[in-house]
Amino acid sequence: MAVLNTDPLVFGKPISLHVQPKSKLEPPVLSILTPSKSSDVLKVCLAAGFAPKEGVMKLTLPGNKPPIHHNISNAVLSKKGVYYFAGFSKDDIEKCQFQDKETSKIDKGKPAEAASTCDPSNITNSNSSPTYEITDDPKRNTMTLIVTGLRLLLAKAVAVNVMMTIKAFLI
């Protein structure tokens, strides 16, 4: 078998395209998210609603462990023209720093000064997907199951009738 020695075809330097929104300077809102029970789940520092996309997130760990530095080049751009980024750590996060903002771990049920609060009543659902209601009413659940079964049976009957009609025309 002959080995071909060929040079790769190179047509110049590669082109990279970076799309960045025209937005004003927005400071990040930092939140440290930890699981309710200690486990092997990753701990997260979330930087939300910031612009521009530059800087490094620093996660300070407990004890003498060295801090973790995350480059935010993979931050996600939202429809509102601001970025979101999550920094992960296997160990607990004592402090999270990004740009000029800083937040600390929540101690003894009291939120840290830099932590923001979220009011669920202010959240609006802009998604146009249907919402489903879960009920414990056995009659309603049974009726929903029966109606779904009848729809499936009707769809199968229509499909079989169409196939038989096509077969009749072909014979």
Closest CA to 103 of 44, 54, 63: 44
Of the candidates 75, 74, 115, the one whose C-alpha atom is nearest the C-alpha of residue 93 is 115
Q: Would you call 139 helix, strand, or coil by DSSP?
A: helix
| Mean pLDDT, residues 79-86 taken together | 88
Tell me, what's the pLDDT at 4? Answer: 65
pLDDT for residue 116 is more than 60: no
Distance of CA 104 to CAs 11, 36, 90, 112, 163, Å?
A: 51, 17, 17, 6, 66
Is residue 112 scored above 90 in pLDDT?
no
* pLDDT of 52 higher than 70: yes
**84: β partners:** 48, 76
pLDDT of res. 18: 72
Residue in the block written with tokens 């300070």:
60
Q: With 0.75 as the threshold, say if the pTM is over it.
A: no
Contacts (Cβ under 8 Å, ≥6 apart) of 85: 46, 47, 50, 57, 70, 72, 74, 75, 76, 98
Mean pLDDT of 56-79: 90
* pLDDT bucket at 164, cuts 50 / 70 / 90: very high
> Once rounded to an integer, what is the mean pLDDT over residues 118-130?
51
pLDDT-derived band at 117, boundaries 50, 70, 90: very low
Q: Can you give the pLDDT at residue 77? A: 86
pLDDT class of 138 with cuts at 50, 70, 90: confident
pLDDT digits (tens, 9 = 90+) for 31-44: 998 887 766 788 89
What band does 151 get if pLDDT is binned at 50, 70 and 90? very high
Which DSSP category does 60 fall into? E
Q: Given a cut of 80, is residue 10 above it in pLDDT?
A: no
